[in-house]
Amino acid sequence: MSQDVYPPPSSSASAYPDAARPVLAEPWEREVLEKLVFASLKEQRAKRRWTIFFRLLFIAIVLFILFSMTDLFSRGASSSVPEAHTALVTLDGVIDAEGEASAEKVIGALQAAYEDAGTRGVILRINSPGGSPVQSGIIYDEIRRLRELHADKPLYVVVEEICASGGYYVAAAADKIYVNRASIVGSIGVIMEGFGFTGLMDKVGVERRLVVSGENKALLDPFSPPNPAQQQYASQLVGEIYQQFVTAVKTGRGDRLKETPDMFTGLIWTGAKSVELGLTDGLGTVESVARDVIKAETVVDYTVKENLAERVAKRVGMSFGAGAVNASLGATQRGWTWR
Q: Are strands 184-186 and 268-270 parallel, antiparallel or unpaired?
A: antiparallel
Element (H, E) at 156: strand 155-164
Q: Are strands 282-283 and 176-179 parallel, antiparallel or unpaired?
A: parallel
Alpha carbons 52 and 110: distance in angstroms, whole number: 46
Per DSSP, the three-state class of 288 is: helix
Q: Is 165 a catalytic residue?
A: yes
Per DSSP, the three-state class of 84 is: coil
Alpha carbons 214 and 175: distance in angstroms, whole number: 46
CA distances to 85, 181, 220, 298 from 294, in Å: 9, 21, 49, 10
Q: Which of 35, 42, 47, 217 is catalytic?
A: 217
Element (H, E) at 141: helix 133-149
DSSP string over 168-216 = HHHHTTSSEEEE-TT-EEE--S--EE----HHHHHHHT-------SSTT
Q: Which of 165, 183, 187, 274 is catalytic?
A: 165
The amino acid at residue 101 is A
Q: Is 78 a catalytic residue?
A: no
DSSP string over 211-273 = --SSTTTTTT-TTS---HHHHHHHHHHHHHHHHHHHHHHHHHHGGG----TTTTTT-EEEHHH
Cβ neighbours of 189 (radius 10 Å)? 18
Sorted by sequence, the CB contacts under 8 Å of residue 315 that are 6+ apart come out as none
DSSP string over 7-45 = PPPPTTS-SS-GGGPPPPPPHHHHHHHHHHHHHHHHHHH
For residues 144 and 65, the answer to whether their CB atoms sit within 8 Å is no
Active site residues: 165, 217
